[in-house]
């Protein structure tokens, strides 16, 4: 028995969530990030864990870390200088992509530049056919020429993606061997290793992103491992993955593409666990930190996954938790454009200097400053006592945009809040339209340092009648690392018919995938518990250009029950398109195995019952909202008990966040401390 630690690094704070396995208690803390000395905040957090909770580094039995290094590298375009080796006459695949513009009806729409420029793409002579047979052997002389040209360009690494290598990777393996022999200073990845699927654009793009982020992630993980070891942490660090699972940090140095969405996925997994524990199956999550707001969908307690998620302007073709990001965080800066229109974001004050009210040198107005001016913040410390917002500094910052607009400071502050909410409203509506759901049937689960601050205002605008504020909303992303399972995806392109004629092929390929998944779980991850496999198939009617993903019962796979598999596809097709054709032949294009090793989950302590007395307000605040000043109670989260009931408007203060509840919501505290808000009956 020891202590398990989950860590999430955001743009403003690094969050720690500690699970005491013996005492069965959750603890948490926040530390301001240090952009100039990355990694120092992590060591500072370990010091605080020992000072405040008596947790020595040697007591830590599990260390799980969510990171934004990968996604930031892609968005900021600060990745590796790469070369791409591909099959001769297929050098333009990355440039052509799918011949679709991001905005079909915009004359100014442009696709983002690929992660490798055209002058660093080199074709080599070889040809593997779609059935895996070799039509033309690899011409090693052309490979040697390509390597020499790549070195002359000063590249850091090479990605190899040859035609039909998903069927037969032999030529890619030959090229990799030549690179390692002739240019050992370069790192090299092959597409058949990263994500071996049909469609050369998707496979190549995925492999390129893996190579693009590799140096940054490798260096970051090296520093992480060394830093933990220097402090006496003996547990091997684990990293959260884009698919909501975790893997070893050592594996993450090469399986980089799997952790590009590490931090955002961790938040959604933590929120899904909170929702299940609270008995709320259908949830829209709202994770607002210092730099952005992320929204995701949870149906029947399970996060939704997708392929082709956009990372900046690049698509990511591996299974990832579906998250939409909006440039509205607590540190998002308000500004007035050339036409005199007030805007918010996407630029953020981050942690250095941070919002003006932090007193760390920031002078530009942010969303957090707007809440201070409106009176919601400023009467209590934030971030576990790290600082108390300075209302004088916040007003001075807001005045810089209030003056040019001819508005009062409070009116401008409320306008900033409303503009931020409107941006979230648009993006959440896009997401619910994509899934065809009614947001009024879902609860809004707010978390992150600024989620509870803005969440109720968004719910009110969207007509959502229920809001869930977790016990520790500020550290839900860190909690996600503690509740995540060891998990990896394994895929094979089959292109077989979903009928008895190909049952033997399905059985053979599924057994090979199962063996690969078990070997990864046992040998590479050292997991000794019970494996939990899940099966999916990308299927279509013969002749269709695109597939839909179908969840398969493991019993169907074991028995190669093609009738049941085909029927599952018909049902899924009808659910999406409102029709199916049971007489039409069905194809299984890709078979995917998700191999998971289930982790032990924390158990939340039940709060003491409140009895019949209502909660006692610590003080009354003078708060500006809906165009005027109001007197509202301030409650301390630490004094709330199970069964306590109260109503908005009010403010709830706690160490890791502040909840701002407007009029029209009735609140009740559940057995484990979650605050459930219901829209008051009209």
pLDDT tens readout for residues 514-555: 999 999 998 888 888 888 899 999 999 999 988 999 999 999
Q: Decide if pLDDT at 123 tops 90.
A: yes
Angle between helices 200-230 and 40-53 (to 10 degrees): 50
What average pLDDT score do residues 283-291 get? 88
Residue 385 has pLDDT above 80, yes or no: no
Give the C-alpha separation, 394 to 519, whole Å.
56
Indicate if the pLDDT at residue 330 is higher than 90: no
Residue 289, token pair as written in the block = 């930190």
The whole-angstrom separation of Cα 75 and Cα 416 is 25
Q: What domains, with CATH codes, occur in the chain?
A: 79-216 (3.40.1360), 486-597 (3.30.1490)
Mean pLDDT of the chain: 89
Cα 173 to Cα 128, 161, 163, 545, distances in angstroms = 13, 10, 13, 30
Report angle CA 445, 450, 455 to the nearest 5 degrees: 40
Rounded to whole angstroms, the maximal C-alpha distance in the chain is 84
How confident is the model at residue 624, as a pLDDT? 94
Report the pLDDT value the prediction gives residue 164, as an integer from 0 to 100: 95
Q: Which residues share a beta bridge with 19? A: 4, 26
Determine the average pLDDT of the residues in 580-595: 95
The CB density around residue 276, as the number of other CB atoms within 10 Å, is: 17
Q: What is the mean pLDDT of residues 242-254?
A: 89
Following DSSP, what letter does each residue of 483-526 receive, concatenated? HPPEEEEEEEEEEEESSGGGHHHHHHHHHHHHHHHHHIIIIIS-
The predicted pLDDT at position 612 comes to 76
246 pLDDT more than 80 = yes
134: enclosing H helix or E strand: strand 134-136
| Rounded Cα–Cα distance for residues 600 and 223 (Å) | 28
The distance from CA 433 to its chain's CA centroid, rounded to whole angstroms, is 20
Confidence band for 312, pLDDT divided at 50, 70 and 90: low
pLDDT at 60 over 80: yes
SS (H, E, C) 27-95: EEEEEECCCCCCCHHHHHHHHHHHHHHCCCHHHEEEEEEECCHHHHHHHCCCCCCEEEEEECCCCCHHH
| Kind of pairing between the strands at 302-303 and 293-299 | antiparallel
Measure the CA angle with vertex 57, ends 52 and 58; round to 5°.
Answer: 130
Question: What is the C-alpha to C-alpha distance for residues 597 and 532, in angstroms, rounded to an integer?
Answer: 6
> For position 1, what pLDDT does the model report?
60
3-state secondary structure of 116: coil
| Secondary structure in 3-state letters for 352-398 | CCCCHHHCCCCCCCEHHHHHHHCCCCCCCCECCCCECCCHHHHHHHH
Query: Would you state the pLDDT for residue 11?
Result: 64
Burial of 131 (0-12, 13-18, 19+ CB in 10 A): exposed
**pLDDT value at position 111?**
77
At residue 383, does pLDDT exceed 70?
no
On whether the CB atoms of residues 357 and 365 are closer than 8 A, the answer is no
**What token pair was written down for 168?**
């037969």
355, 330 in Cβ contact below 8 A? yes
How large is the average pLDDT for residues 203-227? 92
Which residues lie across from 305 on neighbouring strands?
A: 321
Contact 66, 5 (CB under 8 A): no
Using the predicted structure, report yes or no on whether residue 266 has a pLDDT greater than 70.
yes
pTM of the model: 0.86
**Spatial separation of the C-alpha atoms in residues 519 and 514, rounded to whole Å:** 9
User: Other C-beta atoms within 10 Å of 41: how many?
Assistant: 21
At residue 218, the pLDDT reads 93
173's tokens: 């393996």
Strand residue runs (E) in 542-655: 548-552, 586-597, 619-625, 628-636, 645-647, 650-653
pLDDT at 328 over 90: no
Burial 455-492 (b: 16+ CB within 10 A, else e): bbbbbbebebbbbbbbbbbbbbbbbbbbbbbbbbbbbb
The closest alpha carbon to 605, from 14, 19, 26, 21, belongs to 26
pLDDT tier, 216 (very low <50, low <70, confident <90, very high otherwise): very high
Strand partners, 536: 551, 592
More confident residue, 108 or 577: 577
Give per-residue pLDDT as tens, 70-113. 887 887 788 999 999 999 999 999 988 877 777 777 777 777 78
Q: What is the pLDDT of residues 170-193, one digit of tens each?
A: 999 999 999 999 999 999 999 999
Per-residue pLDDT, 318: 85
User: From CA 364, how far away is CA 348, in angstroms rounded?
Assistant: 10
Q: Using one digit for the tens of pLDDT, what is the confidence trace for 132-172?
A: 999 999 999 999 999 999 999 999 999 999 999 999 999 99
Residue 386 scores a pLDDT above 70: no
Give the Cα separation of 196 and 509 in Å (integer).
Answer: 14
Residue 384 pLDDT level (bands cut at 50, 70, 90):
low
At 491 the pLDDT is 93
Rounded Cα distance, 398 and 409, in Å? 6
CB 592 within 8 A of CB 319: yes
């Amino acid at each position: 028995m020891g202590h398990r630690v989950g860590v999430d690094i955001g743009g403003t704070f690094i969050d720690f969530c500690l699970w005491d396995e013996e005492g069965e208690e959750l603890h948490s803390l926040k530390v301001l990030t240090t952009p100039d000395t990355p990694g120092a905040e992590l060591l500072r957090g370990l010091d605080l864990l020992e000072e405040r909770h008596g947790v020595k580094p040697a007591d830590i039995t599990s260390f799980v870390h969510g990171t934004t290094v990968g996604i930031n590298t892609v968005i900021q375009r600060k990745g590796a200088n790469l070369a791409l080796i591909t099959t001769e006459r297929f050098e333009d695949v990355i440039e052509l992509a799918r011949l679709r513009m991001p905005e079909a009806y915009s004359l100014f729409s442009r696709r983002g530049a690929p992660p490798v420029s055209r002058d660093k793409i080199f074709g080599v002579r070889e040809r593997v056919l779609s059935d895996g047979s070799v039509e033309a052997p690899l011409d090693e002389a052309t490979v040697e020429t390509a390597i020499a040209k790549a070195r002359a360009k000063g590249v850091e690494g090479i990605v190899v993606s040859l035609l039909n290598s998903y069927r037969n990777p032999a030529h890619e393996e030959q090229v990799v061997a030549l690179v390692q022999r002739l240019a050992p200073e370069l790192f090299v990845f092959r597409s058949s290793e990263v994500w071996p699927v049909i469609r050369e654009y998707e496979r190549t793009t995925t492999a390129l992103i893996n190579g693009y982020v590799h140096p940054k992630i490798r260096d970051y993980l090296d520093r992480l491992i060394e830093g933990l070891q220097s402090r006496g942490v003996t547990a091997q660090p684990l990293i959260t993955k884009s698919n909501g699972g975790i893997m070893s940090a050592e594996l993450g140095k090469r399986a980089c593409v799997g952790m590009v969405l590490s931090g955002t996925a961790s938040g959604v997994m933590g929120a899904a666990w909170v929702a299940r524990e609270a008995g709320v199956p259908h949830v829209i999550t709202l994770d607002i930190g210092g730099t952005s707001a992320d929204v995701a969908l949870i149906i029947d307690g399970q996060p939704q996954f997708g392929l082709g998620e956009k990372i900046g302007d690049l698509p990511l073709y591996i299974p990832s938790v579906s998250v939409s990001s909006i440039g509205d965080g607590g540190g998002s800066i308000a500004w007035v454009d050339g036409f005199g229109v007030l805007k918010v974001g996407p630029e953020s004050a981050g942690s250095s200097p941070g919002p003006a009210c932090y007193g760390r040198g920031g002078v530009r107005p942010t969303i957090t400053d707007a809440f201070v001016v409106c009176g919601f913040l400023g009467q209590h410390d934030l971030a576990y006592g790290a600082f108390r917002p300075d209302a004088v500094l916040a007003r001075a910052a807001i005045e810089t945009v209030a003056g040019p607009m001819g508005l009062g400071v409070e009116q401008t502050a409320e306008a900033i809040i409303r503009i931020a909410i409107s941006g979230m409203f648009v993006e959440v509506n896009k997401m619910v339209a994509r899934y065809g759901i009614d947001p009024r049937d879902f609860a809004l689960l707010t978390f992150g340092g600024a989620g509870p601050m803005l969440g109720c205002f968004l719910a009110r605008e969207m007509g959502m009648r229920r809001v869930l504020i977790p016990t520790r909303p500020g550290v839900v992303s860190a909690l996600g690392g503690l509740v995540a399972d060891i998990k990896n995806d394994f895929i094979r392109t089959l292109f077989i018919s979903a009928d008895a004629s190909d049952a033997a092929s399905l059985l053979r390929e599924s057994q090979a995938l199962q063996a690969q998944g078990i070997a990864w779980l046992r040998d590479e991850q050292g997991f000794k518990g019970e494996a939990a496999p899940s099966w999916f198939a990308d299927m279509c009617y013969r002749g269709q250009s695109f597939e839909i993903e179908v969840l398969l019962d493991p019993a169907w796979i074991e028995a190669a029950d093609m009738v049941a598999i085909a029927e599952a596809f018909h049902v899924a097709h009808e659910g999406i398109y409102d029709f199916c054709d049971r007489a039409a032949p069905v194809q299984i294009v890709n078979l995917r195995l998700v191999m998971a090793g289930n982790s032990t989950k924390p158990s939340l302590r039940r709060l003491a019952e409140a009895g019949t007395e209502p909660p006692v307000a610590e003080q009354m605040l003078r708060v500006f909202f809906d165009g005027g000043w109001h007197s509202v109670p301030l409650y301390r989260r630490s004094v709330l008990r199970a069964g306590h009931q109260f109503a908005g408007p009010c403010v709830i203060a706690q160490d890791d966040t502040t909840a701002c509840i407007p009029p029209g919501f009735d609140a009740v505290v559940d057995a484990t401390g979650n605050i459930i808000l219901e829209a008051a009956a009209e």
